[in-house]
Amino acid sequence: MPHPLNPSRSPCRHAMCALVLVALPATGCATFQAPAWPWSKPQPAVTDGEAESAVISSEYGPTDGEVGWDYFKGENVKKRWKKMLGRGPNEVVGRAALAEGDALFREGKFKEAIAKYKVTIDRWPDSGVEEDALWQLGECLFFTDQYPKAEDCYDQLVKKYANTRYLDRIAQRQFVIAQYWIALDSKQPLPVIVPNFVDRSRPLFDTRGRALKAYEHVRLNDPRGPLADDSIMAQANAHFLDHQWMDADYFYGLLRSEYPDSDFLLQAHMLGLQAKLRAYQGPGYEGSMLDEASILADQILVQFPDQLARDDAALVEKTRGEIAAQQAQRHYNRAEFYAKGHHYSSARIYYALVARDYTQTQLAMQAREKLDTIKDLADVNDNPFPMLTRVLNPDSLKEAELDAMVETDTVIARQTDPASPPIY
């Protein structure tokens, strides 16, 4: 009889354990079987010369059963549908299709090889086999003049396999494609909104925009590669030729800051200087471009004293004079504005600035004459009720309060600093 409170103390249980211990040496290891893990794949019978690989593709993780909303994701639905149709991950089929595609590729049958590489990508994804198939597919599209599809395929390869061994060659292909599209758009331009249904070597829309995007892919995919600075320079030149001065200035500046050892460094300085001058819209607009251009001109003369040709050095000196004249015009116009409003103190500041800092310009003499004219004039008072404003203006009260707070902080700081002189 088993124990009423502890069934494990039953004598029958001890008898069963003894039988198991006696039976184990007789049967040996043949009685043990490999556990059926939740993610292990059943090995089907070989049919039609194909068998599903025992290797687990990363497309199907340890658990195939998605939970929650993940179950209804498009990619998960697609995976289940492919598996139901017998087109799930299969290494044997993928490698066989890759071998057939390579054989066709060596024979120059690129169109026929495209279908084989697509089978490899479809049947054995997320593997080194797919990486090779993506590269070969891009090459087939490139050699059949399907440049938009080829560029997309190269970019897909880099996005999925960031450290791919084909990175250098992909950069070369994308750079050549971008060059071709820029030249094609210059020779046969199409409006951006007009689709291209005839030439498969150019994109459906916006050939020039796709070319600039291909240049950007070269730099972003391999930022320290041999063509990274070339792609930036090509982008900057394309914007410069299209009179897009702000964009050209950005890319020239990017090359100067990110690739100081580039062979295009001097050109980026010279063309960047011209882009800044052309981006400046006049004395009535913001003038930071002039200040940046002045700094860049000085930097060119200091950084490239031996590399500048005589004509280039003369051009930079001439540009410095133009920048000084434009800056003097800005200050002079501001002085005229204040003088017209009878704010003579502010006007005298800007007239003096022109006369002192821009002595080589024609406006310097006019500024001195203006200074002599208004040197004794007092500013006009724009406030019709000064006493009332002084008492009731909340801004004035706030300013007085802030001044008092600053004075209090100064007194406290002096009292806490032992090195400071005493306050009486």
Tokens for 283?
């004395």
Residue 225 clears pLDDT 70, i.e. is over it: yes
pLDDT at 393: 61
Average the pLDDT over 320-340 and give the result.
93
Residue 34 clears pLDDT 60, i.e. is over it: no
Tokens for 86?
């017998």
Residue 56 clears pLDDT 60, i.e. is over it: no
Tokens for 85?
């149709």
Q: What is the pLDDT of residues 196-205, one digit of tens each?
A: 999 999 999 9
Lowest mean pLDDT among 41-50, 116-125, 333-342, 368-377: 41-50
Average the pLDDT over 316-324 and give the result.
94
| pLDDT confidence tier of residue 401, bands split at 50, 70 and 90 | low
Residue 417 clears pLDDT 80, i.e. is over it: no
Domain boundaries defined on the chain? 386-416
pLDDT at 41: 45
Residue 176 clears pLDDT 60, i.e. is over it: yes
Residue 69 clears pLDDT 50, i.e. is over it: yes
Average the pLDDT over 227-234 and give the result.
97
Residue 47 clears pLDDT 70, i.e. is over it: no
| pLDDT confidence tier of residue 72, bands split at 50, 70 and 90 | confident
What are the C-alpha distances in Å from 15 to residues 9, 12, 93?
Answer: 11, 5, 54
Neighbouring CB atoms inside 10 A of 293's CB total: 27
Please state, in angstroms and rounded to a whole number, the distance separating the CA atoms of residues 236 and 221. Answer: 18
Average the pLDDT over 236-248 and give the result.
96
Q: What is the pLDDT of residues 105-133, one digit of tens each?
A: 999 999 999 999 999 999 988 899 999 99
Q: What is the pLDDT of residues 345-355, one digit of tens each?
A: 889 999 999 99
Residue 219 clears pLDDT 50, i.e. is over it: yes
Phi and psi at residue 47, to the nearest 5°: -130, 135
Q: Helix axis angle, 310-340 relative to 363-374, nearest 10°?
A: 20
Q: What is the pLDDT of residues 267-282, one digit of tens each?
A: 999 999 999 999 999 9
Percent of the chain with pLDDT over 70: 72
| pLDDT confidence tier of residue 409, bands split at 50, 70 and 90 | low
Residue 55 clears pLDDT 50, i.e. is over it: no
Please state, in angstroms and rounded to a whole number, the distance separating the CA atoms of residues 217 and 156. Answer: 11
Please state, in angstroms and rounded to a whole number, the distance separating the CA atoms of residues 347 and 333. Answer: 10
Higher model confidence: residue 302 or residue 1?
Answer: 302
Tokens for 117?
């590489």
pLDDT at 220: 95
Average the pLDDT over 141-146 and give the result.
97
| pLDDT confidence tier of residue 379, bands split at 50, 70 and 90 | confident
SS3 284: coil
Tokens for 189?
């331009």
pLDDT at 404: 59
Average the pLDDT over 313-317 and give the result.
94
Task: Compute CA 352 distance to the chain's CA centroid, rounded to the nearest angstrom.
Answer: 46
Average the pLDDT over 48-55 and give the result.
44
Is 0.75 topped by the overall pTM? Answer: no
CA proximity to 353, closest of 342, 338, 297: 338
What mean pLDDT value characterizes the chain?
Answer: 81
Which residue is it, tokens 């009720």? 385
Residue 173 clears pLDDT 60, i.e. is over it: yes
Higher model confidence: residue 139 or residue 390?
Answer: 139
Residue 387 clears pLDDT 50, i.e. is over it: yes
The residues, ordered by sequence, that sit 6+ positions from 405 with a Cβ below 8 Å of its Cβ are none
Q: Which residues of 194-217 are buried (b: 16+ CB within 10 A; e: fewer)?
A: eebeeeebbbeebbbebbbbbbbb
Lowest mean pLDDT among 83-92, 167-176, 229-238, 365-374: 83-92
Average the pLDDT over 330-354 and give the result.
91
Task: Compute CA 40 distance to the chain's CA centroid, rounded to the nearest angstrom.
Answer: 41
